[in-house]
Amino acid sequence: MGHSFQVDLRGVVDLLSHHLYASPRVYLRELLQNAVDAITARQSVEPTAPALVRIECGGNLLRISDTGIGLTEEQVHELLATIGRSGKRDELGFARHEFLGQFGIGLLSCFLVADEIQVVTKAAEAPTVYWTGFSDGRYEVSAGPERHEPGTTVTVKPRPGAQDWLAPQRVTELARLFGSLLPVTVEVGTNTVTGRPLPWQEGGERVQFCQEVFGFTPYDVIELDVPEAGLKGLAYVLPTPASPAAKAGHRVYLKRMLLAEGAEGLLPDWAFFVRCVIDASELRPTASREALYEDGLLEQTRERLGDQLRGWLVGLSQRAPARVTEFLAIHHLGVKALALHDDEMLRLVDRWWPMETNLGRLTLEEFRNRYGVIRYCSTLDEFRQLSAVAAAQQLAVVNAGYTYDAELIERLGMADSSILVDRLDPSDLTTRFHHLSPGEQAAFDPLRSQAQRVLDRLGCEAVVRGFDPVTLPALYLVDRDATFSQHLRQTQDEVDDDWAGVLAAIAQTAAQARPQLVINYRNALVRRIASLSDSSLIELAIESLYAQSLLLGHHPMRPADTALLNRSFLGLLDRAVTGEEP
């Protein structure tokens, strides 16, 4: 007797293959899920019933048999023909959370690789049912020889071009991939692919499992346990740095069936330094059962797992301080990202993470204990420019130009009012420079006046001071007010007239804030320049000092600055070669 599915089967198959499942290989997982569910259902009423799934492949077909509860003819119609209806499925008991999949949808996934599927099934005290489904939307239910024991056998005949998915070696690999941790016996031909203990159980191979699955030997292994999600597992700490931008993929099992090899969203974003293998019974899969469904329970689980990773790190700092330093050398970015929001991690970074300073690498705790104030540069260029000069003035400075460092230092000051934090302003250095004596001021005032005439057209102020190191002839300093003024002027050129007027009014109040070229009167070259009587040569020298200071400080070069650099270099070169005025 012929029947038709109560759906457009071709449309369902297209949906499964092109929109739901990532690969046809899931057909075997769905068959395994159906078999395990059937065995679970039978053992709920017959605890001593056998738990065996046998897969045979060859001769251009695949046959999978289970010792499960089987189906009656009425159940066959309800579960296999009425796709998407949950009422009867619930009545039959297959909607309980103990089961892995959905029998009808799971069986239809076989049409990803086949045009014809045959199911032979027997429930206790019910006749054996023969069901044959075709990819054109037809199915038939017929009578046949009686099975002696309850259970189901599904036979899949591959369509042209899909034979490789049913090849013995491929089937064995897929069965082992999806089902190696299942609590039932799964045999593929003469090979048993199950029976491997969970890696976190007694006898489980923790490190070996990580090496096989993730391809690395872990720095450490962390046990995971979230009872409300029915979750147990392990987090493997990566032995090498990981990029925060890289998506961390975790191996996730649901009720010991592999759900995903690279599941995302299991851990907080900051925990990119671990890879996890977990098994859960209460987390929900997506429709494709290849990822986790984002809901309240998953969010709660993510927070709990984050707490456990943080607890491991805090415990490590107490029992093995040397390993904390090793760990931070590898994964400081992840810990610093967490410390932006977590006081406990902030204290750990403060105590254990050595930062670059102009007086060597020191932790923030060591730095403030020695120097009182955590004074820092917020950019790498600023630190490169000012670190040596600051050190010469006995000023200790932290390089906070690396990722998260400036934010962490500021947060440290906000979290503990006893910790003094100060961002180094270049103008702070000038207060430590030596002013000229009256005699020196009279000697260097002509140089300062001529330098100011040169620098006025560049929007810069000329200052003569004495500072160490004496080998540095000049230093270009831009304080915060001057930086703000520069940004205002640049922005005025990029906005419409209305906003330009507003910015011009603000810029007028900040117009006095200009960058400074601090000329070091202690420098021998500067003293020789000051003794020159040739004003054109002095001008070339001042322009050269200005350009060199920009380059040494890694400051951006405007077109006018680049033109000045070329002009002064060529002018000095010409004077050196000819000995004549240009």
Residue 308 domain flag: yes
Where on the phi/psi map is residue 315: left (φ > 0), alpha (ψ -120 to 50), or beta? alpha
Average pLDDT, integer, range 483-511: 53
pLDDT at 104 over 60: no
Among 140, 158, 192, the domain boundary falls at 192
Residue 317 pLDDT? 87
Residue 246 pLDDT? 74
Same structural domain, 155 and 297: no
Contact 49, 67 (CB under 8 A): yes
pLDDT at 497 over 80: no
Residue 144 domain flag: yes
Residue 380 domain flag: yes
Same structural domain, 18 and 166: yes
Same structural domain, 186 and 285: no
DSSP state of 194: -
pLDDT at 564 over 50: yes
Same structural domain, 289 and 417: no
Separation between Cα atoms, residue 374 and residue 361, nearest integer Å: 14
Residue 381 pLDDT? 86
Geometric angle at alpha carbon 128, from 123 and 134, rounded to 5°: 110
CA distances from 367 to 296, 388, 389 (A): 43, 17, 18
Same structural domain, 280 and 216: yes
Contact 260, 234 (CB under 8 A): no
Task: Choose the most confident range, by mean pLDDT, from 196-200, 244-248, 429-433.
Answer: 196-200
Average pLDDT, integer, range 21-32: 86
**Model confidence at 487, in pLDDT bands (50, 70, 90)?**
very low
Q: What percent of the chain has pLDDT over 70?
A: 85
Q: What is the domain-level CATH number for residue 413?
A: 3.40.50
Residue 110 pLDDT? 86
Same structural domain, 152 and 262: no
Separation between Cα atoms, residue 331 and residue 442, nearest integer Å: 57
Domain count, the chain: 4
Residue 491 domain flag: no
Contact 356, 363 (CB under 8 A): no
Same structural domain, 155 and 8: yes
β-partners of residue 280 are: 254
Range of the domain at 45: 2-192
Q: What is the domain-level CATH number for residue 309?
A: 3.30.230.80
Secondary structure (3-state) at 21:
coil
Residue 100 pLDDT? 40
Same structural domain, 51 and 178: yes
**Model confidence at 89, in pLDDT bands (50, 70, 90)?**
very low
Torsion of CA 223, 225, 229, 231, to 10 degrees: 40
Separation between Cα atoms, residue 498 and residue 491, nearest integer Å: 13
Secondary structure (3-state) at 291:
coil
Contact 198, 256 (CB under 8 A): yes
Least confident of 165-169, 491-495, 523-527: 491-495
Question: What's at 544, amino acid-wise?
Answer: S
Average pLDDT, integer, range 273-296: 90
Q: Which of 346, 336, 344, 351 is CA-nearest to residue 314?
A: 344
CA distances from 504 to 460, 461, 481, 483, 498 (A): 19, 21, 15, 15, 10
pLDDT at 279 over 70: yes
Same structural domain, 112 and 229: no
Same structural domain, 173 and 228: no
Residue 544 pLDDT? 94
Residue 468 domain flag: yes
Residue 410 pLDDT? 95
Residue 91 pLDDT? 40
Burial of 246 from C-beta contacts in 10 A (0-12 / 13-18 / 19+): exposed
Reading the block at residue 537, the tokens are 């040569």
CA distances from 536 to 226, 337, 454, 461, 542 (A): 78, 55, 11, 19, 10
pLDDT at 514 over 90: no
Among 390, 409, 430, the domain boundary falls at 430
pLDDT at 462 over 70: yes
Residue 507 domain flag: no
Residue 99 pLDDT? 42
DSSP state of 8: -
Question: What's at 231, amino acid-wise?
Answer: L
Average pLDDT, integer, range 275-287: 92
What is the tens place of the pLDDT at every residue in 47-59? 999 999 999 998 7
Secondary structure (3-state) at 434:
strand
Secondary structure (3-state) at 7:
coil
pLDDT at 186 over 70: yes
Same structural domain, 279 and 375: no
Q: What is the domain-level CATH number for residue 100?
A: 3.30.565.10
Residue 199 domain flag: no
Provide CB contacts within 8 A for 468, sequence distance 6+.
389, 392, 393, 522
Question: What's at 365, amino acid-wise?
Answer: E
Average pLDDT, integer, range 526-543: 93
Average pLDDT, integer, range 423-434: 84
Among 318, 338, 369, the domain boundary falls at 318
Secondary structure (3-state) at 116:
strand
Same structural domain, 148 and 212: no
Q: What is the domain-level CATH number for residue 534?
A: 1.20.120.790
pLDDT at 96 over 50: no
Phi, psi of 275 (to 5 degrees): -125, 135
Residue 334 domain flag: no
